[in-house]
Structure 1
């Protein structure tokens, strides 16, 4: 069985989960606990960051490399259009989404976390001790903003990210006005990339992610609650309903968290 080393709230892990579910491949999730140590994963795979896919003795890191590997190894239900023009648009949109929605979505999420202490503690993994959750929740948002400025995650950077995401969502709404998928009439890598990376903009309803119930359907202010972008999120949630497998009460393939740091 395939094994996916992941972090449940990683957008790029969600991108890979979408692809695995779409292709109907059985896989076991191995949750990676942040802050414990990178050595185990690095020694196994040569990769420090998730997602990492294990197929037999082969380890593949990076969500795009994983997508291309799965397309070669398991060609049923292809991710790439056969038409050269459509394939070109698909590849271009996948790269754009990784660099735009992926990176700006992280910044916007951090901005939302800075402003909401309860939100910060609620999305931490279950395995994080309560005293650490309380410590994180007690840090003032303005202090986090100051600390974030040194690494490009301060208030101005977050505002720029949200502004850029608004333009991205408007563009996606316009593209989807006249077609069911981003590159035509069939789903492709572009769709699963955009849908997976938008996870942190607004968490999907339904039992797809191992997150607290009160977070489902919630998201980043000005984006998740803006009626102008409702068509995009309706489209995204349709992809969840059609292609993502919901969690089972006790997923038999899921392994307990392992002591691996992801960042």
Structure 2
């Protein structure tokens, strides 16, 4: 069985999971714990980032390389168009999604968490004690902004990222208001990249991710709930409903005995 070394809340991993589900491939998720270490995954793949796919003796790192590998090795339900121009457009759009949506979505999500105590509270498990929830909700915005600045997500960077995401969502909503998919009449790599990498702007509402129920369907205020972007979010909901499998039916449970212990998130 295919093994996906992943972080459940990585949007690059979500891109790969969408492709695996679309192709109907059984796979086992191996959750990689962020933090210290990284030796197991480095020994396996020669690098430290997720996602990593293991297929027998083959080990593939990077979401784009994994997508291309899957399409070559498992050609049923292809994700790359055969028409040369459509294929070129698909690959260009996938690269744009990786760089623009992927990077800016992370920044606007962190900005929303720093500014919105309700969103921070929703991210906590339902079993979290009341005192912890109160602490998280009452964290001063100034302290969170300082931490964000230290990580390169200061106020100016967040403004630039938000403007970029507004433009991205506006363009995507326009494109998808009159066509079923971004490139052709069938979903392609571009669709799965855009859908997966937008996860941080608005988490899917269905049973697709192992995250607190209170966080499902939540997102960045002004982006996740703006009526102007409704065509995009409705399109993404349809894509998930048609092709993404529920958490309870995906593969076999993760084997914790083989789990790497640390990771950098791509």
Counterpart contact for 2:5–2:30, Cα < 8 Å = yes
| 64-73 or 109-118, which deviates more | 109-118
Structure-1 separation of matches of 2:98 and 2:145 = 25
Counterpart contact for 2:123–2:214, Cα < 8 Å = no
Q: 1:202 to 1:89 in 2, by over 3 A?
A: same
Q: 1:166 to 1:179 in 2, by over 3 A?
A: same
Q: What runs of 5+ residues in structure 2 fail to find an aligned partner? A: none
The reply to whether residue 201 of structure 1 matches residue 201 of structure 2 is yes
Q: 1:8 to 1:122 in 2, by over 3 A?
A: farther
Q: 1:193 to 1:125 in 2, by over 3 A?
A: farther
Structure-2 separation of matches of 1:110 and 1:153 = 8
Alignment match, 2:248? 248
Alignment match, 2:115? 115
Counterpart contact for 1:203–1:218, Cα < 8 Å = yes
Counterpart contact for 1:23–1:76, Cα < 8 Å = yes
Structure-2 separation of matches of 1:107 and 1:125 = 23
Q: 1:17 to 1:221 in 2, by over 3 A?
A: same
Tell me the secondary structure at the aligned position of residue 30 of structure 1: strand
Alignment of 1:71-110 (within 5 A): 71-110=71-110
Matched residue pairs, number?
A: 262
Counterpart contact for 1:15–1:195, Cα < 8 Å = yes
Using the TM superposition, give the Cα deviation of residue 116 of structure 1 relative to its aligned residue in structure 2, in angstroms.
3.3
Using the TM superposition, give the Cα deviation of residue 134 of structure 1 relative to its aligned residue in structure 2, in angstroms.
8.7
Alignment match, 1:262? 264
Q: What runs of 5+ residues in structure 1 fail to find an aligned partner? A: none
Structure-1 separation of matches of 2:18 and 2:193 = 8
Normalising to structure 1: TM-score of the pair? Answer: 0.91
Q: 1:131 to 1:7 in 2, by over 3 A?
A: farther
Normalising to structure 2: TM-score of the pair? Answer: 0.90
Structure-1 separation of matches of 2:73 and 2:124 = 34
Q: 1:249 to 1:120 in 2, by over 3 A?
A: farther
Structure-1 separation of matches of 2:76 and 2:4 = 20
Q: 1:24 to 1:51 in 2, by over 3 A?
A: same
| 117-126 or 103-112, which deviates more | 117-126
Instruction: Give deviations 1:173-220, integer Å, cap 9, x for gaps.
Output: 111122100002111000000000011111111100111111111101
Structure 1 outlier segments of 4+, above 6 Å: 130-138
